[in-house]
Structure 1
Amino acid sequence: MPVSMGRELVTAVPPRRPDGPEAAPPGGLTLLVIEDDPAGSLAIPELLDASGGRVRVRTARNLTEAERLLTDDVHCILLDLALPDSTAGGAEDGGGPGADGGDGGELGILRRVLRMAPRHAVLALTAEDDAERAAEAVRVGAQDFLFRGELDGRVLSRAIRYAVERKRADLAQRQLTESRLRAQENARLERGLLPTPLLGGSELRFAARYRPGRSRALLGGDFYDTVRTADGTVHAMIGDVCGHGPDEAALGVELRIAWRALTFAGLCGDQLLGTLQRVLEHERPSDEIFATLCTVDIAPDGRRAGLCLAGHPAPLIAGTGRGPRLLPHEDIGGPALGVLPNARWPRMQVELGGTWSLMMYTDGLIEGRTGQGDLRLGQDGMLGIVGRLMAAGLRGEALLDAVLAQVRELNGGELTDDVAVLLLDRGQ
């Protein structure tokens, strides 16, 4: 029979609005001019924005004043490259010769402004005979340059609007690039979190669903795996690292890989879980981190299995003529991995029968609300949902999709915790 695997993923997050200066209000733009002209030859003409509103102008004589005037409603900075280096500010403001790493003078001041206002548009102002320095200012990071003789209202208004929109586009492009890099990194983690089952030669059908909690985009601490060893035994595992984020997700990947290697090496039950606990203790970022785990090893004839629980919910089993129920788990469980040193995890033999469906899951599936205040779904609520759906004829991936849909509907939206569900079917 074919082996199938389903993966339901949150694969994209809409790009957020670029941080930085707020959008221009209907009343117009705000310009911050940084210049120190004792002769008063630098005159800023009256400026109008695209809608005909006046552009507000603030003036600072040095970088210390500029930093104080650089509030969120400033949209653009006009920096006079002739500003004397001595007026850039004190040592605490990054001023003084050589403060920019050896490039003092005019472009050193520009670099300090760019560091001070990384999300603001910057226009460089210079003399007509200094075109080379003006071009270098754009290469350093200014959005555009102007010559002093061009300071009429029409040209300056247009340059401000252009600089603001160009800076906004640059920020959006940078955030899009960063978002793509994060998505690529998350995809690499997904490949570890969502393994390909190794069930070649098995008559069992496999399906799985994994959904991270709504507040964490793609990363989660849940993990699972399924393999078939040379003797025909099918081994399945599902686990949950406490906490959320990349550290916990990475630890889940490490535990899954370690479980697969140890299983192929012939370890099982208490010996396997004890070794996994040592791996967790060595790899976890803090002593407070622990992981719950459920392992099942199904005999080659498919009629019985060994069950180990390490602080994890018991699997659900359903057979011909019988509704879903939890596998017997009284007095067999051990603590979560990483909680108690020298802990033990007894292995219990359970009967599966000839035709059955086995569902393993993390606690995110049963901790959602039922729509009745703060009442949680719990294992009994989950058994009821699965029983009704199986009675309606749903199996495999369709069953998992319907279970998750009903759990989310009862919760009133996406679940806050990660959810992983694994389903093995025999003879359906």
Structure 2
Amino acid sequence: MTATLNETLTLLLIEDDDGDAFLVEELLKQAEAPPRITWVRSLEEGKAKLTSRIQCVLVDLSLPDATGLEALEQVLAAAPHAAVLVLTGLRDAHVGVAAVKAGAQDYLVKQDVDARLLARAIRYAMERKRADLAQLQLVAAELTAKENARLESGLLPVALLHTDALEHTTRYLPGSQGALLAGDFLDTVQTPDGSVHIVIGDVCGHGPAEAALGVALRIAWRTLVLAGQTGDRLLRTLDAVLRAERQAPEIFTTLCMATITPDLRDARMRVVGHPPPVLVRDGVVSVVDGAPSGPPLGIFSDAEWTILDVPLGDEWSMMLYTDGLIEAAVGEQKELLGVDGLVDLVREHGSIDLDRLIRHVGTLSDDLAAILVSRRSE
């Protein structure tokens, strides 16, 4: 009966015995789709051939430069993507069992091999390898999900507000480049004197390291605010934390920090290399004048930031956001929304509605964090 392989494979045979190698090649020629075979006589030669194109490896465990499980371990290390079948003699069948426990997909006793058995063993080894890789990917995905959940809890805290006079809404969405949270962070804290402190920030870059740095900065900001530290002194402390925790000197952070007075009628802001907040006051839409008030954190050690005093009045809404919102491509021409486009969009809508804005901009190219704080007149 003719042996059958499901697909044309690229196979590496590591075998120092010419007769055994010839037998394997002849048996595989009987397959319905004979594999492409590369034959080498030593482990050292084999390791040089173990490229990503090799899908399956048949390796003898009695080689001139490696024997037993030592040979297998080196093959597994050099080709983690490939299915591995071990070839043994009658006297070494127990070694084959140990090889499977050590990571090989299967083993074959040379004296018992025929064309159908060899083809079937290769096919099954390939399927087991696919299953093993799928399981590893599943475990990695689960670990990523757990890490994201931990990062999300750090990046997206519960606001510490004890007033009913403000409506407070936040949104955090990943960009199109992946599901991992990046370094955007936000927080809101009301101190005992009634002042409401808000921060939103963006660590440059994407990935777990940037997200972890965002968490560190967010927690540091909350701690400093609760300890009574504000203004430039707070920013310089955050700058020191950033420089101590970042993995590379080119990492910087933009942020916007606002303190709303206890009567909720005025705000004092510092826009640190960050997009300007959007305001709606008595139906008039604008952005904070004078922004940015200074450079991002992590660039200049002697940086200073201008204080922006912003009158709010009795009825107002204020949106702080990261650049993922204004860098979204909108319209048929897929042009960047930009700050002016965002202001026009808010004017068109008549008010700031985070969900409506996000639906309008569609696919985000970068991560988006946003805080909307509103006060309605009594």
Asked whether the 8 Å contact 2:270–2:306 carries over to 1, the reply is yes
The worse-fitting range, judged by mean Cα deviation, of 191-200 and 272-281 is 272-281
Match for residue 291 of structure 1? 253
State how far apart, in whole Å, the 2-side matches of 1:165 and 1:316 are.
56
Match for residue 207 of structure 2? 245
Which residue type is aligned with residue 229 of structure 1? T
Asked whether the 8 Å contact 1:29–1:49 carries over to 2, the reply is no
Report the CA distance shift for 1:162/1:205 in structure 2 as closer, same or farther (over 3 A).
same
Alignment of 1:301 onto 2:263? yes
Partner of 2:369: helix, strand, or coil? strand
Asked whether the 8 Å contact 1:49–1:161 carries over to 2, the reply is no
Alignment of 1:404 onto 2:361? no
Partner of 1:162: helix, strand, or coil? helix
Match for residue 169 of structure 2? 207
Asked whether the 8 Å contact 2:16–2:41 carries over to 1, the reply is yes
Deviations 1:105-154 (A, max 9, x none): 32222222222322211212223343322211111121111222321111
Compute the displacement of 1:230 (Å).
0.9
> Which residue of the other structure, out of 104, 107, 110, is the alignment partner of 1:145?
107
Compute the displacement of 1:197 (Å).
0.7
Asked whether the 8 Å contact 1:332–1:347 carries over to 2, the reply is no
State how far apart, in whole Å, the 2-side matches of 1:73 and 1:268 are.
59
Match for residue 372 of structure 2? 423
Match for residue 298 of structure 2? 338
**TM-score scaled by length of structure 1:** 0.78
Deviations 1:191-242 (A, max 9, x none): 1111111113342111111123322432212211101111111111112223
Compute the displacement of 1:262 (Å).
1.3
Report the CA distance shift for 1:71/1:227 in structure 2 as closer, same or farther (over 3 A).
closer
State how far apart, in whole Å, the 1-side matches of 2:5 and 2:368 are.
44
Alignment of 1:326 onto 2:280? no
Report the CA distance shift for 1:333/1:53 in structure 2 as closer, same or farther (over 3 A).
closer
Report the CA distance shift for 1:133/1:25 in structure 2 as closer, same or farther (over 3 A).
closer
Report the CA distance shift for 1:357/1:64 in structure 2 as closer, same or farther (over 3 A).
same
Match for residue 58 of structure 2? 78
> Which residue of the other structure, out of 55, 61, 72, is the alignment partner of 1:110?
72
Compute the displacement of 1:364 (Å).
2.4
Which residue type is aligned with residue 286 of structure 2? R
Q: Can you give the 5+ residue segments of structure 2 that lack an aligned partner in the other structure?
A: none
Match for residue 193 of structure 2? 231
> Which residue of the other structure, out of 258, 271, 274, is the alignment partner of 2:220?
258
Match for residue 360 of structure 1? 320
State how far apart, in whole Å, the 1-side matches of 2:132 and 2:274 are.
48
Asked whether the 8 Å contact 1:46–1:54 carries over to 2, the reply is no
Number of residue-to-residue matches in the alignment:
373
Asked whether the 8 Å contact 1:49–1:55 carries over to 2, the reply is no
Asked whether the 8 Å contact 1:294–1:312 carries over to 2, the reply is yes
Which residue type is aligned with residue 215 of structure 1? Q
Q: Can you give the 5+ residue segments of structure 1 that lack an aligned partner in the other structure?
A: 1-23, 89-94, 96-104, 409-413
RMSD: 2.8
Asked whether the 8 Å contact 2:175–2:368 carries over to 1, the reply is yes
Deviations 1:15-53 (A, max 9, x none): xxxxxxxxx997633443322226669723433788x33
Asked whether the 8 Å contact 1:28–1:49 carries over to 2, the reply is no
Report the CA distance shift for 1:350/1:115 in structure 2 as closer, same or farther (over 3 A).
closer
Greater strand percent: which structure?
2
Partner of 2:152: helix, strand, or coil? helix
State how far apart, in whole Å, the 1-side matches of 2:292 and 2:17 are.
83
Which residue type is aligned with residue 123 of structure 1? L
State how far apart, in whole Å, the 2-side matches of 1:268 and 1:407 are.
34
Match for residue 158 of structure 1? 120
Report the CA distance shift for 1:57/1:150 in structure 2 as closer, same or farther (over 3 A).
farther
Compute the displacement of 1:67 (Å).
3.4
Percent sequence identity is 47
**TM-score scaled by length of structure 2:** 0.88
Deviations 1:335-392 (A, max 9, x none): 322333333334333221222211111222223344475853222210111222236x
Asked whether the 8 Å contact 1:225–1:236 carries over to 2, the reply is yes
